Structure formats: C-alpha cells, structure tokens
C-alpha cells in the first residue's frame, strides 16, 4: 500500500488527510477546485513540506516521528503536470535520455536496468506510440504528442510511483480523446501505481480503479471506483453527470444493427458497437438521468436495456428523487443477503426521476422493479 498521513496549513484550508492507496492501478484524487488535490500530490513528491508520514510499501520517504526525510530527487517517482514542460532545445530522444539519466541513480540502481521499474523504456515508447517522434523538437509536436512524450520522460526515470496532475486539462477535446487510449494502455500494461488528479468525471470513469474524494483539505470518502459512484449520499450523486461504472465483458456483436452486447455479474447490456473483441473487458457508464423504473416488465418498448432491480434507497428533494438500485431480484441473485455476502459485490445503478413519479409509483425500499436504461456509454 501507499501510506500517507499529511497535514499542512494553507491560507484557505488546512490539509489533513490519511490515505492508504493500492500499490497497483490508478487512484484518482477528485474534488472541487482548491480542495487540496495538487497539494496532496506535491506533498507525496516532497515538493511541499507537509508534516506526517509517506511510505510506499516498506520504503519510507518521510516520517517526522523518526526524523526521516527523503528529498524529491531521491524519491523514485515520476511527475507529469498540465503543461508538458519539455526541454525545447532537445529533440524527443534527448528529452527521454535526460529522464533516463536521473533514474534512481541516487539509490545506486543501474539506470538502464528495466527490472528496476518493471518495464523497459523501449516498451514505454511503443505503448505511447512516440517512436516516429524521436527526432522531432517539442515545438513541432501537437499538444497530445507533447504530453505523451512528457509521460514517457517521467517513466524513463524508472519510478515506483507515477504522479499525474491534471495531465489532460490543457488539451482540447480532440487531443484529449487522442491521448486517453494511451493512458488506458499504460494502465493495463504497467504494474505501477498512479495517483491521478483531475476535475473531469469522464477521466475518472474511464481510467480510475480507486477514488478519493477531497473537500476542503479532508478526505470525504475513499474506496473502489464502482462502489463510490453508486453511493447516493456523496456529492458525486448530485452532479448532472452522476452515474455508475460497470466492469463488463464483450459477449457478442450484432453488426447488422451496429450493436454489441456486454455482460456483467447479474445481467447484460446492449451498447453501440465496440471494436473490442468478444471476451475483452470493457467499462460501461450508465448515467442516472438515463435510467427510469417501472413496477412491471415493460412490453413493446423502444428501450432495449431492461434489468430486474431492487430499490435499496431513495433520496428526494423538492422536485426530484435519486434511487439506488441493486441489479437482480431477490431469490434470483445468489439467494438473498446471505448469498450476496458470500458472492461477488452486486452491481448497483442510480436513477434520477421526478419526485411526483416516485410518489405515483409509491416506491419503498425493498421494492422489486425493472430499470429501463436509455443510454450506455462504453468508456
């Protein structure tokens, strides 16, 4: 685990966090502007002198209780910011060579030893698709190309931890769409923990495994992405793009209609045709505003995704109601509470309906319903 307990007084807030983050996959730090996301990242890197403790596995970088402090240049980490910050007088190859030159030399490790970080630089170059760019200067690259080179340079240092501070915020929509698949490839391929700061929920839904919600320097919630997105009492559920992410597998393609069927624990969904092959894993994002409920299985409906669900909770305001739904009816999804406790975590949905509709249906927690899902986005 990545263990961090940090406090730091700021003018607008006091950072006071205790984090235990997975040592593999992407952890997203998410929250409003000014909540402390970048401060946490800089404190992990040693760029901000927060009080407390930072450890990666059994490697302690900071422990004020014992007087331990490892400066930034001695911490095996890579850091990527919004602007690529490449050396303009060096071509791509030389920028990467600079990163490799400072790779963990302070720890006495061989700078060209791929075992030091679990991957070789040539593999990173291939993963990020920058081999054709090696002889070019940064000024001749697009924004997306520059950022891919910046990520490769950070990885060239053979880090044990990669920190990314809103790496896509400075890119327009086309460049952002260009670079996201490369980040997914890194995520799938490298056994490297990544702490990723963003204010964009679409990036969180597409990339993150673990989520930390920050508010005014404090941790509001932390846990697996799917679990937190499905919690109706968190601020995420009040956003217009509130919804859940479902890990699924491609089951089949219906090329005649341009559709693909994906399956997950408890059901299947039809989505727009994906390039992923049958058997490949995908993420499906279902927004609360695209889900409605009915007491009876609908007939002759244009909505092709209908799932049996159980209403777990309902939160209402003056005009709307937010429903938390568990996929599967009682008795058909592992035999009630005892079976669910022993089996996999059930898939949950959020649905936003009018309060009038909720009253008309006389909805109560525990009701067996059917969820009609109008739109599903594959991330």
Cβ-in-10-Å burial (0-12, 13-18, 19+) of 317 comes to exposed
Q: How confident is the model at residue 379 (pLDDT cuts 50, 70, 90)?
A: low
**Whether pLDDT at 143 is above 60:** yes
Q: What is the CATH number of the domain that holds 368?
A: 2.40.50.100
The tally of domains found in the chain comes to: 2
Residues 285-305 have pLDDT tens digits of 999 999 999 999 998 889 999
Q: Does 303 lie in the same domain as 203?
A: no
Q: Is residue 72 part of a domain?
A: yes
Q: Does 74 lie in the same domain as 186?
A: yes
**Residues spanned by the domain of 146:** 2-229
Residue 133: the pLDDT is 93
**Whether pLDDT at 333 is above 80:** no
Q: What is the CATH number of the domain that holds 68?
A: 3.40.50.300
Q: What is the reported pTM?
A: 0.87
**Whether pLDDT at 251 is above 90:** yes
Mean pLDDT for the chain overall: 88
Q: Does 170 lie in the same domain as 55?
A: yes
Q: Is residue 112 part of a domain?
A: yes
**Between helices 143-156 and 92-101, what is the axis angle to 10°?**
30
CA 123 to chain centre: 23
Residues 208-250 have pLDDT tens digits of 999 999 999 999 999 999 999 999 999 888 888 999 999 999 9
Spatial CA neighbour of 286 closest among 253, 252, 323: 323
Please state, in angstroms and as integers, the Cα–Cα distance from residue 38 to each residue in 18, 31, 271, 371, following that order: 15, 11, 36, 39
- Where a domain ends, among 188, 206, 229? 229
Read out DSSP for 326-368?
Answer: EES-TTSSSSHHHHHHHSPPPPEEEEEEEHHHHHHTT--TT-E
Q: Is residue 236 part of a domain?
A: no
Spatial CA neighbour of 271 closest among 292, 257, 288: 257
Q: Is residue 64 part of a domain?
A: yes
The residue whose two tokens read 């490790």 is 109
Q: How confident is the model at residue 38 (pLDDT cuts 50, 70, 90)?
A: very high
Whether 200 contacts 168, CB under 8 Å: yes
Spatial CA neighbour of 343 closest among 351, 358, 332, 354: 332
């Amino acid at each position: 685990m990545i263990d961090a307990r940090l406090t730091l007084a700021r003018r607008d807030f006091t950072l006071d966090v205790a984090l235990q983050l997975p040592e593999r996959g992407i952890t997203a730090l998410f929250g409003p502007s000014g909540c402390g996301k970048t401060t946490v990242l800089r404190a992990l890197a040693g760029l901000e002198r927060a009080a407390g403790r930072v450890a990666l596995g059994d490697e302690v970088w900071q422990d004020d209780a014992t007087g331990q402090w490892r400066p930034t240049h001695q911490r095996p980490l890579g850091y990527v910011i919004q602007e690529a910050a490449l050396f303009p007088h060096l071509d791509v190859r030389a920028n990467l060579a600079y990163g490799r030159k400072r790779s963990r030399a302070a720890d006495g490790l061989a700078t060209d030893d791929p075992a030091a970080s679990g991957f070789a630089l040539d593999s990173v170059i291939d993963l990020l698709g920058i081999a054709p760019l090696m002889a070019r200067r940064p000024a001749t690259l697009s924004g997306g190309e520059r950022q891919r080179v910046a990520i490769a340079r950070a990885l060239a240092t053979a880090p044990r931890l990669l920190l990314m501070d809103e790496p896509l915020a400075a890119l327009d929509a086309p460049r952002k769409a260009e670079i996201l698949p490369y980040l997914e490839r890194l995520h799938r391929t490298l056994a490297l923990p990544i702490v990723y700061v963003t204010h964009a929920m679409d990036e969180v839904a597409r990339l993150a495994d673990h989520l930390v919600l920050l508010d005014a320097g404090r941790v509001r919630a932390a846990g697996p992405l799917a679990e937190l997105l499905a919690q109706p009492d968190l601020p995420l559920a009040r956003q217009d793009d509130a919804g859940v992410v479902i890990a699924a597998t491609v089951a089949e393609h219906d090329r005649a209609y341009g559709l693909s069927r994906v399956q997950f624990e408890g059901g299947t969904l039809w989505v727009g045709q994906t390039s992923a092959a049958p058997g490949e894993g995908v993420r499906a994002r279902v927004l609360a505003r695209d889900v409605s409920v009915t007491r009876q299985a609908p007939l002759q409906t244009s909505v092709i995704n209908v799932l049996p669900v159980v209403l777990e909770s309902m939160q209402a305001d003056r005009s709307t109601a937010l429903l938390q739904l568990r996929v599967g009816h009682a008795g058909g999804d592992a035999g009630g509470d005892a079976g669910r406790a022993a089996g996999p975590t059930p898939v949950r949905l959020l649905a936003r309906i009018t309060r009038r509709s909720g009253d008309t249906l006389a909805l109560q927690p525990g009701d067996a319903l059917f969820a009609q899902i109008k739109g599903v986005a594959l991330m």
